[in-house]
C-alpha cells in the first residue's frame, strides 16, 4: 500500500529497528444471508496516532496542524490504503475446517478521522456464500512480515443470519515471542534484518470464530 511504503522509507533511515512499526485496531463484521451463509466481511482499520499523523502530513492535509480535518480533507483520505498490489491478501484471511476461502478485493470504502486517528473500512466478499454451522468460520488478521501489528480489541459484529455468535481468540503471545526469538537467532550479523525480517506474523494472529446453531 502506498502509505505503508512511504512510512517504511521514513523508518528505514533509523538504525536497528524492531518490528512492528505500525499498530492497527481491527473491527470485524461478518455478513450472513437468511440461510446462515456468510457472504462477506466488513473490515475496519483504526491506525495508531503516529501513522495517522504521518499520512495526513504526507498528503498535505491539516495544514494548520490543529488536529482537525474538514469534510473535504477527510474525503481526500478515502481509499488511501486501498491501492493494493496484485495478490495482496489485505492481511485478512478466511478459513473453514483448515481450508482457505477466497475473498474479493476491497469494495465500499469509507474513511473517518477522530481523536487523532484515521479509521478506514472496506468490504471483502466471498466468491461463493459460505454455509456456517458448528464448524467455525474463522477470520484472521495479521501481517506476515509483522511490520504491522493488527489486533481485534472490539467485539465482532454479526449482521444477518439466525442463532449465530462470534468470538475473538488471541494467540499465545509468549509462544509467539519465543518463536520470534528463535527465528532471529538464525540470522548472522551481515544480514539486513529490516529487509529480511522473518515471516512470523501468523504467530501473532488474532481471529474471529463464527458459528451458527442448527436451524
Per-residue pLDDT at 181: 77
Q: Give the residue from 19, 12, 14, 5 showing the smallest Cα distance to 147.
A: 19
- CA atoms 151, 137, 121, 11: torsion sign: positive
CB environment 99-122: b (16+ within 10 A), e (fewer): eebebeebeeeebebeeebbbbbb
Q: Which helix (H) or strand (E) holds 52?
A: helix 49-58
**Would you state the cell numbers that stand for residue 166, as one nine-digit string?**
462470534
Per-residue pLDDT at 73: 94
Per-residue pLDDT at 186: 72
**pLDDT of 71 strictly over 90:** yes
**pLDDT of 94 strictly over 90:** yes
* 21-33 mean pLDDT: 97
**pLDDT of 123 strictly over 90:** yes
Q: Give the residue from 93, 195, 97, 107 showing the smallest Cα distance to 152.
A: 93
The residues pairing with 31 across neighbouring beta strands, listed in sequence order, are: 40, 159
198: confidence class by pLDDT, cuts 50, 70, 90: low
**Would you state the cell numbers that stand for residue 102, as one nine-digit string?**
477466497
φ, ψ dihedrals at 187, nearest 5°: -85, 145
Q: Give the residue from 46, 101, 92 showing the smallest Cα distance to 208.
A: 92
Tell me the average pLDDT of the chain: 87
Residues 30-39: tens digit of each pLDDT: 999 999 999 9
Helix axis angle, 49-58 to 2-11, nearest 10°:
100
Residues 149-158: tens digit of each pLDDT: 999 999 999 9
φ, ψ dihedrals at 32, nearest 5°: -125, 155
Q: Tell me 146's DSSP state.
A: S
Residue ranges of the domains in the chain?
2-212
Amino acid at each position: 500500500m502506498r502509505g505503508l511504503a512511504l512510512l517504511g522509507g521514513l523508518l528505514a533511515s533509523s538504525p536497528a529497528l524492531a518490528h512492528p512499526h505500525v499498530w492497527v485496531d481491527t473491527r470485524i463484521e461478518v455478513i450472513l444471508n437468511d440461510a446462515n451463509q456468510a457472504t462477506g466481511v466488513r473490515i475496519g482499520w483504526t491506525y495508531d496516532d503516529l501513522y495517522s499523523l504521518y499520512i495526513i502530513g504526507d498528503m498535505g492535509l491539516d495544514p494548520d496542524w490543529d488536529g482537525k480535518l474538514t469534510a473535504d480533507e477527510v474525503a481526500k483520505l478515502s481509499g488511501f490504503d486501498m491501492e493494493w498490489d496484485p495478490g495482496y491478501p489485505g492481511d485478512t484471511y478466511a478459513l473453514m475446517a483448515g481450508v482457505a476461502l477466497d475473498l474479493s478485493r476491497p469494495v465500499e470504502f469509507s474513511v473517518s478521522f477522530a481523536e487523532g486517528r484515521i479509521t478506514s473500512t472496506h468490504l471483502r466478499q466471498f466468491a461463493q456464500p459460505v454455509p456456517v454451522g458448528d464448524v467455525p468460520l474463522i477470520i484472521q488478521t495479521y501481517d506476515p512480515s509483522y511490520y504491522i501489528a493488527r489486533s481485534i480489541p472490539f467485539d465482532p459484529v454479526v449482521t444477518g443470519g439466525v442463532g449465530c455468535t462470534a468470538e475473538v481468540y488471541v494467540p499465545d503471545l509468549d509462544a509467539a515471542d519465543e518463536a520470534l526469538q528463535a527465528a532471529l537467532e538464525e540470522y548472522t550479523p551481515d544480514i539486513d534484518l529490516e529487509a529480511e525480517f522473518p515471516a512470523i506474523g501468523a504467530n501473532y494472529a488474532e481471529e474471529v470464530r463464527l458459528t451458527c446453531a442448527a436451524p
